[in-house]
A and B are shown apart, each in its own frame.
Chain A
Amino acid sequence: MSADTPLARIRGGAGEAIRHDSAAGHVTGRALYLDDMPVAPGTLEAALVLSPHPHARIKRIDFSKALAAEGVVCAITAKDIPGKNDIAAIRTDEPLLPEAIVEYEGQPFAAIASATLDQARAAAKLVIVEWEELPPVLTIEDAIAREQYVSPPQTMSRGDVDAALKNSPLRLSGEFRCGGQDHFYLEGQIALAIPGDSGDFHVFSSTQHPTEIQHAVAHLLDLPFNAVTVEVRRMGGAFGGKESQATLIAGIAAVLADKARRPVKLRLPRDDDMRATGKRHPFLIRYDIGFDETGAIHALDLTLAANGGNVADHTPAVMTRALCHADNCYWLPALRFKGLPCKTNTVSNTAFRGYGGPQGMFAIETILDQVARHLGKPLDDVRAQNYYGAARNNVTPYGMTIEDNIIGKLTAEFERSVDLKSWRAQVDAFNAKNAIVKKGLASMPVKFGISFNRPALNQAGALVHVYTDGSVTLNHGGTEMGQGLFVKVAQVVADAFQIDIDHIRMSATTTGKVPNTSPTAASSGSDLNGMAARNAAEQIRERMAEVAADHFGVPKNEIAFAANRIFAGNRSVSFPELAAMSWEKRVSLSATGFYRTPKIHWDFATSQGRPFYYFAYGIAASEVAIDTLTGETRVLRAELLQDCGQSLNPAIDLGQIEGAFVQGLGWLTSEELWWDEKGRLRTQGPSTYKIPGSRDVPPIFNARILADSPNREETVFRSKAVGEPPLMLAISVWLAIRDAIASVSGHARAPQIDAPATPERVLLAVDAIRNS
């Protein structure tokens, strides 16, 4: 091949929109999830015994009937845990099973293993407990009044906020809230624990964090980490719900397996899953904002109070991220952000796509909407008064200088393709003509910080093997939950070797291959694991290049990998030939790769630092219609523009954008978690908890990836993370609903409404605005 002949591109290199690696497996049903895997004969099935009370002391447990039931092999309580009874992700406050006091309705306090699943579930109903009911704390307000927190309150501040508020020409204060959200991954929580032959355990777990499962099982069973191997090939969705929460399931399976000395599978039925495992944090938001007639903010005193549930779990970190996103895209000269991680007798809330970011942005955007309505100005005009500057007014409340601000570029590009002015005119014209059905329109800019707030988590490992036939096995610390991480990382490796992606096999994530991993979370999967995998592939490529250089008798720098071959000028060998040649020359074809994110640092004591390597940006606008007689709502149109840097895979990224938006739409509209007065969750299955269905997606729905916008930081192929940021674009739906409600008063008054905007809340707000 001569130098001027264009080389055929490899299939599946970086940037190519290829489909999910398991797509064929998905559509044929051949892709195996944990519950689909054949189990060894003798494997037991397990069921949890859940607390009927939100707060109660266990005075006595009687297992006699349960143990006598057909098929039952064993039961466990806290007493059966041989090691340390703690599975807390961040602090050390979370028992796997409570010793004496249950702290939320639905909390597992015992578990049963039986020959069959039906037997286990039947036996769980036969456990008799004598309870002493204790007074529960069920609301955020109640917890604040008692100063009852799962972790210390956090503050972030700048300037003299009290003086700035006092000196502000205008001031508004108020209170509102947003609800939690169940992850509703279609595959419920599940784990299979298999005792080995030498005191070791192999645990299959539907988890985003195999290492945390490994550590927890080791602690619970008093084993060294190397005695526990945790494996996951794929999850049927996770969204943050299988990060710390999976530990509960795997931990119980492991303790049962340890006691029974047999493999135990624990798969939660949907109701148990929804009752026993944590969700997105509901927030109560209180604010006092000072501003002027132009809409420029002078000061903001903001309290974000999260319902953390009974233990800390991820709450402190979720709160930090909430505080780090309550600025969204706006420069706040003086501020005090206070975060209250409330402890209540409800299920402990946890990571969920966005991880506090959505709640923080929900807060500031709703407040700005109040300000705009107070001033009678369009929200976008008020925003324009407050956007972070490029050279000045560019420091976040946590002391990070924003170096990659592309809000201006993004909004300009958005307005080129979406005519917001005529759209607004259409909405206004509709409202002028219709008395019952009212429309609303709003846009929403997003700036979302990428990196774990805790610097240590921003590292990753990978393992790459090249076999002598040229086939490649790829393994890394990231887990596949549907987000397309495996195919993206494989694209990186294909690109590094310049071979078609079909030659690369992605293998199940296991702590036995890549140790000490971080969770696949914080949108960081491809950033971290892609870089680690590239590092591993490049090491092997360099070694192979030396072999090729030897073979062709040229300097190494004249060797080129391209189009499935290795070239030295006009001469070339195939990738498999070079792999075989390398083996003959006794050159290692295996490497581990490693990556750590540069530049980041964080001071937990002062809530200051540079927690994020970069920001991912996005903008959206949504149009809704509300029925002012019933509160029924429909989203009619949504236009999205998301910054993905130089996208690693536009097909996968588009799926993330659309999926995240619809998930966010559900959070703010139909997905309502409802507890009764006794603290019992009554929305515990899809019959009562309503995630969006196909009809709830706006009939006009255009999501696009911002073109020509490589990451200014040196991320993998200059791409940006995409898992979480677009979820917050759905706040445009929330603001549009507020706009529709406000239209009832001719936009003279600001609506008072909490999220989710269920028909009931919308009607209440409409009636309130009419009667005010």
Chain B
Amino acid sequence: MAPIRFLLNGEMRSEDRVSPTTTVLDYLRGTARLTGAKEGCAEGDCGACTIAIGETRNGAAHYRAVNSCLMMLPQLDGCDIVTVEGLAKEDGSLHPVQQALAEADATQCGFCTPGFAMAMFAFAQGGEAGSDENIHDALAGNLCRCTGYRPIGEACRKIAGHPDSALAEKSVPALPPCTEYKHDEQICFLPRSLDQFLQLRASHPAALIVGGGTDLGLKLSKERERFPAVILTNGVRELKTIATDGGALELGGAVTYSEALPSLDMYFPAFAALARRIGSRQIRNLGTFAGNLATASPIGDTLPCLIALGAQIALRTTTAARTMPVEDFILGYRKTALKPDEVIATIRIPFLPNSDRFAIYKLSKRFDQDISTVIAAFRVTLDHGVARDFRAVYGGMAAIPKRAATLEKALTGKTWDTQTLDGIDALLAQDFKPMSDQRGSAAYRLRAAANLVRRFQIETTDERALARVEAL
């Protein structure tokens, strides 16, 4: 068995003595005695555990912020890890990110600060402009309870677009990859090719498949479970591809939200805007579309979008391949059509014809990094003011993401105006019997679900109408 190898603040580490399901945060704080990264929630929401992971892309190091609390140690294989301890120069002088935070009086209790520093470090390395939008996007995964964020945002604006050139130009040395990490009775596979992945899947049907681990990671960080066998998909070359052909965008089964964003921006801007509200950057840098499908959560944000867009999912085994609509893939509450030897190879999202209007609306208590109370994906073909092929898919309204069949039927072929929508509250009540929970009551869910159709109608008929507070 090979150890996993990675760079930690520039120092080569070779690790084979700890459980593969050790979280990266526990490893850093325990084994490595680097206590800068903190546990604030152990569920990837507060960002106090944020670290940066560097990989070589196009010959240069590219850093992304991640939640170390949700990651398993083997996910670091071959990476260049930077923690807050690795930011300051050897002579002790502060990194520009640290300097900016200190100068802006952006620290009070300081517990969240190392996480903010690392989110900002990754942001600066990415070279993005310091717009409000970019800054909120970069900081949405970090909670601060003391400052009120104003000084943190200021510090972030200051360092925006100023990557640390020494780091940006260096490339992460190629480390011998680990393909199988064993410790006591636990095993973690790190397949590098689709063939290897398929064979492992066939020979270890009970092994958990981990994409980014942003959902399964909760079982490690919070429930302190120790999975006996895991297959990590993020090293599988073929599954990292993003391709387009004449008719569709095709995302490989290990493509993360962040990796897909540029393509989504180009082909599905509404989907891209929604994707930016899935978790935070830290989450999107790890989480995958395939993972969102495989966990089949009733509140998985991509599912209603994929169903509304008529996406197809391609499944593979060592010997067979099949495709099916995403809608058919989801069988029930956290239940899918995936067979024990199958893997998700690609997700194919057909381009929208020009005649189609498409929108996704997400309602939650907080705009950023919140789980949807209701999410709705609408699609309509407008033909001289008449709705053809109206499709409405909701999340948060049932045990699975589900189309509003009665509503769809009632509106298809009708004049696309406000009067047509008068009775839709009652129609939706036939389609859904939502539950009341901490995110919202059944009554709110139904009312909001109907009003979102009204918003869609307004936005598709009057381009200048202001129907969202975030547009202000």
Contacts and interface: CB of A to CB of B under 8 A. Distances in A.
A759 B448 CA distance: 10
A545 to B, nearest CB: 35
Interface in B148-189: 148-153
Contacts of A16: none
A686 B111 contact: no
Max chain A CB contacts within 10 Å: which of B83, B99, B365?
B365
A118 B224 CA distance: 6
Interface stretch (B192-200, B330-338, B434-442): B434-442
A629 B83 CA distance: 44
Contacts of A662: 147-149
A655 B150 CA distance: 9
Interface in A658-688: 658-663, 670, 672, 674, 676, 682-683, 685-688
Given A29-B85, A122-B224, A686-B46, A483 B94 contact: no
6 closest pairs, A vs B, by CB?
A29-B36, A482-B109, A236-B111, A26-B110, A662-B148, A686-B45
Contacts of B99: 27
Contact of B363 (A630, A634, A652): A630
9 contacts: A28-B87, A184-B143, A186-B111, A236-B110, A237-B108, A655-B148, A661-B148, A693-B143, A760-B444
B448 A690 contact: no
B410 interface: no
Interface of B: 29, 33-43, 45-46, 48, 83-85, 87-88, 94, 97-99, 101-103, 105, 107-114, 117, 132, 135-136, 139-140, 142-153, 222, 224, 361, 363-371, 373, 437-441, 444, 447-448, 451-452, 454-455, 458, 465-472
A694 B146 contact: no
A27 B113 contact: yes
A699 interface: yes
Contacts of A379: none
Contacts of A685: 41, 43, 45
Max chain B CB contacts within 10 Å: which of A118, A234, A690, A767?
A690
Contacts of A437: 466-469, 471-472
A186 B143 contact: yes
Max chain B CB contacts within 10 Å: which of A29, A661, A692?
A29
A169 interface: no
Contacts of A28: 36, 84-85, 87-88, 94, 98
Contact of B437 (A185, A187, A682, A697): A682
Interface of A: 19-20, 22-33, 35-36, 38, 118, 121-122, 183-188, 234-239, 269-271, 434, 436-437, 481-484, 625-627, 629-634, 636, 651-652, 654-655, 658-663, 670, 672, 674, 676, 682-683, 685-688, 690-697, 699, 701, 703, 758-760, 763-764, 767
Contacts of A692: 148-149, 366
Contact of A696 (B29, B37, B367, B467): B367
B42 A270 contact: yes
Contacts of A30: 36
Max chain B CB contacts within 10 Å: which of A636, A676, A703, A758?
A758
Contact of A630 (B42, B102, B107, B451): B451
B84 A658 contact: no
A686 B143 contact: yes
Given A186-B111, A686-B43, A636 B472 contact: yes
Nearest to B153: A694
B222 A269 contact: yes
A633 B150 CA distance: 19
A186 B472 contact: no
B153 A655 contact: no
A763 B447 contact: yes
A737 to B, nearest CB: 12
A112 B395 CA distance: 41
B105 A29 contact: no
A633 B434 CA distance: 23
A27 B94 contact: yes
Given A121-B224, A694-B152, A237 B139 contact: no
Nearest to B112: A186
A237 B467 contact: no
A236 B114 CA distance: 12
Given A634-B469, A763-B447, A234 B145 contact: no
A730 to B, nearest CB: 10
Contacts of B469: 437, 625-627, 632-634
Contacts of A29: 34-37, 83-85, 113-114, 117
A686 B117 CA distance: 20
Contacts of A122: 224
B103 to A, nearest CB: 8
